[in-house]
Amino acid sequence: MSQSNGREAGRAPGRERHRGAVTLRRQAIPTSTADQRLLDSRARSDWKTKDAWRALRILSEFVEGFDTLADLPPAVSVFGSARSRPESPECQLAEALGAALARAGYAVITGGGPGVMEAANRGASEAGGLSVGLGIELPFEQGLNDWVDLAIDFRYFFARKTMFVKYAQAFVVLPGGFGTMDELFEALTLVQTGKVTRFPVVLMGADYWSGLLDWLRDTMAADGKIGPTDLELICVTDDVNAAVRHIVEAEATLSAEQEAVREEAVARTAADQQAAGEATSGDRAAGGPSAGGRPAGGAVEPVGGGATGERPGRITGAGGDRSGERPAGPARPAGDGEGAG
């Protein structure tokens, strides 16, 4: 039997899948994904034995993502079709966009796959920027493109989607399919509901999006399913510089608003402290009670002078209201000046 480099002749390395430190090849690659196994309601019998462990695996993906991306510079997530050819208009646009974002100081985050994602990663990398790829386990293996500098492979879509939003200052969406639509409408929903603020959503490839935008305006908005101002959440342009400028200006506006809120909070706190200080000074000048609530001279109020529930200042005799306290001295006999009568 002939061999080549220790392998049987005709046995190619084949595709492979990575799961952290684990590498799977050929027949070892499962036919289903972690997402499929999690969401498949037909496998209810193993929920009690497996879902608890899945929870730990899900948690580990969030921890890994947060820890890896925590020090990421300002970034923009770019979405588009994995099926687009390198010579297509959207890939050329994505490459120019990635380079422009890198020059503006942004890292570029994509799904790490081919097509539009690879073009955006390439543009950012060649322009000297940081190129990030967030991969996902799929039944058909596509792998991470060669232009990704920092990569994370996820098992679960929802963990991956969190990273796209959490570590990005904006979304730029180029022509794509269902996955691209998913990211687009998730971003619009988060902005519309106030879950994220001042999060620019830019559509590039105006001709491709025109039919969708017409439907949103003439059907969805006209029928009252979205508000008239909701369409203003979307910026449509084919100009790379205009797209980057829109993102930069939105970030500057948000920073100015946040600074104004901080200054207002500081001013309000200072005013409250000043008012409290003036009130305390006025009480002292008038001889009123001190901060502890006791009279100015430190004297104890006489019995009967307090409201119900107040502790008496002293005990006057055997017939007084001791409120459960021990007498101050020996009790006097009942006929000694304080008898019943």
pLDDT of residue 252: 80
pLDDT of residue 82: 95
Task: For residue 159, give the amino acid letter.
Answer: A
| Domain membership flag for residue 110 | yes
| Domain membership flag for residue 244 | yes
| Domain membership flag for residue 178 | yes
| Domain membership flag for residue 211 | yes
Question: Residue 227's closest CA among 196, 191, 203, 251?
Answer: 191
- For residues 318-340, b (16+ Cβ closer than 10 Å) or e, as one string? eeeeeeeeeeeeeeeeeeeeeee
319 vs 155, 304, 323, 327, 337, CA distance in Å?
A: 80, 13, 12, 11, 11
pLDDT of residue 176: 97
| Domain membership flag for residue 165 | yes
pLDDT of residue 98: 98
CATH code for the domain of 196: 3.40.50.450
217 vs 37, 71, 84, 306, CA distance in Å?
A: 39, 40, 28, 71
pLDDT level of residue 197 (50, 70, 90 thresholds): confident
| Owning domain of residue 213 | 59-259
**pLDDT tens digits, residue range 228-249?**
889 999 999 999 999 999 999 9
**pLDDT tens digits, residue range 102-117?**
999 999 999 999 999 9
Whether the Cβ atoms of residue 134 and residue 164 lie closer than 8 Å to each other: yes
CA atoms within 13 A on the CB side of 320: 18
Phi, psi values for residue 72, rounded to 5°: -65, 135
| Domain membership flag for residue 26 | no
pLDDT of residue 69: 96
Question: Residue 112's closest CA among 88, 138, 89, 92?
Answer: 138
| Domain membership flag for residue 278 | no
| Domain membership flag for residue 150 | yes
Please state, in angstroms and rounded to a whole number, the distance separating the CA atoms of residues 120 and 77.
10
pLDDT of residue 228: 83
pLDDT level of residue 265 (50, 70, 90 thresholds): confident
DSSP state for residue 18 in the 8-state scheme: E
For residue 26, is pLDDT > 70? no
Please list the alpha-helical segments (H only) found in the chain.
Answer: 34-39, 52-69, 89-103, 116-126, 157-166, 178-192, 206-215, 240-285
The total of structural domains in the chain comes to 1
Question: Residue 93's closest CA among 175, 2, 166?
Answer: 175
Question: Residue 90's closest CA among 207, 210, 247, 233?
Answer: 207
Please state, in angstroms and rounded to a whole number, the distance separating the CA atoms of residues 102 and 174.
18
**pLDDT tens digits, residue range 57-80?**
899 999 999 999 999 999 999 999
Residue 292: both structure tokens together:
């502890």
